[in-house]
Amino acid sequence: MKKVLLSVAGFDPSAGAGVLLDLKVFARMGFHGAAVITALTTQNTRSVKNVYALPAKLVREQYRVLAADLTIAGIKIGMAGSTENLKAIGTILAARRGIPRVLDPIIRSSSGAQLLEGGAVLELLRAIRDRATVLTPNLDEAGVLVGAPVHDIAGMKDAAVTIYDRCRVPCLITGGHLEKEAVNLLFDGRRVSLFGKPKIAKDVHGTGCFFSACLLGYLAQGRPLARACRLATELTHRAIRAAVRVGRGRPLMP
């Protein structure tokens, strides 16, 4: 029977991010993808216009019905959409401690739209405490989680340690937006690991979703965390190079 990976995330109708991109990545890696939708958005390749969070009751019901039928081998959490949905997601993660669980803490879109209501950061950290395999914020999201800007590798290290201390979950900060280099930094609770690639001068939509989805795929294949992070960094780098323009906005991950 084919292994199933579950995306719990928002719906981007352009398919540049969220559940549609996650499912594409899961299929690319040989898995069957299933999804629990947390929010609907009106957006295109240029910007996010509006976000409509679904009721937490519906999020729980989607998951309950799928879990009664499918053997889930890994879970990726993306945009929650609301504080109530974060509580539902915490329950889902707690029920699945035996499988890889990757959380991409989407707070704002890259075009600047707020994707998680204000004041929900502490609830996010509470919801995932001791309940995930790895957290994958970008520089901006890491800054929101620690309450201070993160601009360089030294700041990434400090932020990753602080985030781990607050939620007891290994933290991989993606550094594709560093000024001079592209370096991802992992703190697993004991040591720091760096995964660098040449910086690509290309503004691509969906890179964070793509990275966290393929990271889950490698973990579900049985790869150790640091090795999975390195492989996901490499695959994401290749995908950014191959990004395609389908609309009038930014290119999308292939």
Q: What pLDDT sits at residue 114?
A: 60
Orientation angle between helical segments 121-128 and 139-146, nearest 10 degrees? 90
Whether residue 76 contacts residue 49, with contact meaning beta carbons closer than 8 Å, is answered with: no
How confident is the prediction along the chain (254 residues), in pLDDT tens digits per residue? 899 999 999 999 999 999 999 999 999 999 999 999 999 999 999 988 999 999 999 999 999 999 999 999 999 999 998 989 999 999 999 999 999 999 999 877 655 556 566 567 778 888 899 999 999 999 999 999 999 999 999 999 999 999 999 999 999 999 988 988 899 999 999 999 999 999 888 889 999 999 999 999 999 999 999 999 999 999 999 999 999 999 999 999 99
* Structure-block tokens of residue 4: 């199933």
Topology given in CATH for the domain delimited by 4-241: UDP-N-acetylmuramoyl-L-alanine:D-glutamate ligase (3.40.1190)
In whole angstroms, give the CA distance from residue 186 to residue 189. 9
Whether residue 23 contacts residue 37, with contact meaning beta carbons closer than 8 Å, is answered with: no
CA-based nearest residue to 217, from 229, 207, 205 = 229
**What is the sign of the dihedral through the CA atoms of 228, 17, 119 and 138?**
positive
In three-state secondary structure terms, 248 is coil
CA-based nearest residue to 34, from 1, 13, 58, 3 = 3
Strands 72-77 and 101-103: parallel
pTM for the structure as a whole: 0.95
SS (H, E, C) 159-189: HHHHHHHHHCCCEEEECCCCCCCEEEEEECC
Q: How far are the Cα atoms of 34, 82, 91 from residue 117, in angstroms, in the given order?
A: 26, 6, 20
In whole angstroms, give the CA distance from residue 59 to residue 38. 6
Per-residue pLDDT reduced to its tens digit, 108-147: 765 555 656 656 777 888 889 999 999 999 999 999 999 9
Per-residue pLDDT reduced to its tens digit, 55-73: 999 999 999 999 999 999 9
One-letter amino acid for residue 57 of the chain:
K
Strands 134-135 and 182-187: unpaired
